[in-house]
Amino acid sequence: MGSLKWVFVVMISVISIGVEAELRENFYSSTCPNVEAIVKQSVSIKFRQTFATIPGTLRLFFHDCFLQGCDASVLIDSPNGDAEKDAGDNLSLAGDGFDTVVQSKTAVEAQCPGIVSCADILALAARDVVVLAGGPSFNVELGRRDGLISQASQVSGNLPEPNFDLTQLTTMFSKRGLSLTDMIALSGAHTLGFSHCSRFSNRLYSFSSSSAVDPSLNATYAQQLIQACPQDADPDVVIDMDPETPRTFDNKYYKNLVNGKGLFSSDEVLFSDSASQSTVVDFANNPGDFNIAFVTAMRNLGRVGVKTGNEGEIRKECSIFNS
Residue 92 has a CB neighbour count (10 Å cut-off) of 14
Q: What whole-number distance in Å separates Cα of residue 68 and Cα of residue 70?
A: 7
Distance CA 66, CA 100 (A): 20
Which ranges in 137-213 belong to alpha helices (H)?
A: 166-174, 180-187, 202-205
- Is 57:40 a contact under the CB 8 Å cutoff? no
Q: Which amino acid is at 110?
A: A
- Read off the amino acid at residue 302: G
Dist CA 288 CA 188 (whole Å): 13
One of 40, 59, 63, 255 is an active-site residue; which one? 63
Tally Cβ neighbours within 10 Å of residue 20. 13
Give the separation between CA 222 and CA 215, rounded to whole angstroms: 9
Give the Cα separation of 280 and 253 in Å (integer). 9
Do the beta carbons of residue 57 and residue 64 sit within 8 Å?
no
Is 190 part of the annotated catalytic residue set? no
The Cα 252–Cα 242 span in angstroms is 7
Which residues are known catalytic residues? 63
